[in-house]
Amino acid sequence: MTDPTHPRAQAHGAPATDAPAAAAAPQACDTPAAARQARRPALVVGLTGGIGSGKTTVADRFGALGVTLVDTDLIAHGLTGPDGAAMPAIREAFGGSVIAADGRLDRAAMRELAFGDPQARKRLERILHPMIRDESDRQLAHAASAYAILVVPLLVEGGKPRERVQRVLVIDCRPETQIERVMRRNALPREQVLAILGAQASREQRLAAADDLIDNDGSPDTLDERVGALHQRYLALAAG
Ligand SMILES: Nc1ncnc2c1ncn2[C@@H]1O[C@H](COP(=O)(O)OP(=O)(O)O)[C@@H](O)[C@H]1O
Ligand SMILES: [Mg+2]
């Protein structure tokens, strides 16, 4: 699942996010969950990888080919934004100390709370995860392409990834590459990046769960060919 205390939103001085600013605020669901599940595209590919591996970079390339992207990280940000649908429950569970002045989840405060109280993270996940799943299903039901990509940063950590997706696509690179990229992107000190990496699945665990792999240690120019080949493969799989 997605990491509710992802550092992206609280970088110091750096662009707050590598994602489009307008994370769609989740809409109210008016369709029963089972019906929405039934309306999924023929193939849903789960795209995952460690922090800074290049998930967003790769997902955007599939998006450029017209593939519907559903990003659980963006959904989580929408749910925990100033008017986010999860904020009333979060306020009730944790009080005002984890809520920023503009009404969004104060990720730094939440992380601190979770650090001292492991149950707090679980409580937050119990609030967020069902809402993220509902909104993911809703967006998948509107997929305009033959297959869709569901971006789930912590797909492997959540266990049983194939209950949510038919294939697992792992974006892979060396930990040192991840560390350098995240330090730069989020203006975070090395120790903090190491702590985040340490809380995620290992590279080996992720590789063991992969059906498909994209090596993103090299130049981004090399991605198009690999993405194009996988795109053809997924189109063929979706056509059955
Ligand atoms: N192949 C690459 N070469 C150099 N920089 C890259 C490459 N892929 C991604 N990046 C940069 O590294 C950072 C992390 O990539 P991103 O796609 O945001 O990772 P994730 O979504 O997995 O956290 C971003 O700043 C991105 O622009
Ligand atoms: Mg990303």
169, 230 contact by CB (below 8 A): yes
Output b/e per residue, 39-74; b: 16+ Cβ within 10 A: ebbebbbbbbbbbbbbbbbbbbbbeeeebbbbbbbb
Task: Out of 75-79, 85-89, 116-120, 189-193, pick the least confident.
Answer: 116-120
For residues 237 and 147, is the Cβ–Cβ distance under 8 A?
A: yes
Query: pLDDT per residue over 187-215, tens digit each?
Result: 999 999 999 999 999 999 999 999 999 99
Categorize the per-residue pLDDT at 229 as very low, low, confident or very high, splitting at 50, 70 and 90: very high
**For the purposes of burial, counting CB atoms within 10 Å of the CB of 156, is it exposed (0-12), middle (13-18) or buried (19 or more)?**
buried
Instruction: Provide the whole-model pTM.
Output: 0.84
Q: Is 181 in the pocket of ligand 1 (CB under 6 A)?
A: yes
Per-residue confidence (pLDDT) for residue 129, from 0 to 100: 93
pLDDT at 111 over 80: yes
Name the residue with the closest Cα to ligand 1, atom 27: 57
Distance 20 CA to ligand 1 centre (A): 14
Confidence (pLDDT) at 38: 62
Indicate if ligand 1 lies below 6 Å from the C-beta of 18. yes
pLDDT above 90 (res 19): no
Residue of 132, 124, 131 whose CA lies nearest to 106: 124
pLDDT band of 95, cuts 50, 70, 90:
very high
Using alpha carbons only, give the angle 144, 9, 93 rounded to the nearest 5 degrees.
95
Asked whether 50 lines ligand 1 (CB < 6 A), one says no
Mean pLDDT of the 107-132 span: 92
Task: Give pLDDT, residue 159.
Answer: 86
The per-residue pLDDT for range 140-165, each reduced to its tens digit, is 999 999 999 999 999 999 889 998 99
pLDDT at position 14:
32
Whether residue 220 has its Cβ less than 6 Å from ligand 1: yes
Ligand 1 center from residue 212 Cα (angstroms): 19
In angstroms, the Cα distances linking 116 to 37, 40, 113, 195 are 37, 40, 5, 15
* One-character DSSP codes across 24-72: PPPPPP-S-HHHHHHTS-SEEEEEE-STTSSHHHHHHHHHHTT-EEEEH
Q: Give residue 173's pLDDT band: very low, low, confident or very high (50, 70, 90).
A: very high
The model's confidence at residue 114, banded by pLDDT at 50, 70 and 90, is confident
User: Which of 26, 54, 87 minimizes the C-alpha distance to 171?
Assistant: 54
Where does the pLDDT of residue 98 fall: very low under 50, low under 70, confident under 90, or very high at 90 and above? very high
Average of per-residue pLDDT across 74-101: 97
Q: Is 170 helix (H, G, I), strand (E, B) or coil?
A: strand
Q: How far is CA 150 from CA 58, 66, 88, 214, in A?
A: 12, 14, 26, 16
pLDDT for 32-48, tens place per residue? 656 555 688 999 999 99
**Residue 124 is encoded by which pair of tokens?**
């937050």
Could you identify the atom of ligand 1 that is nearest to the CA of residue 223?
A: 1
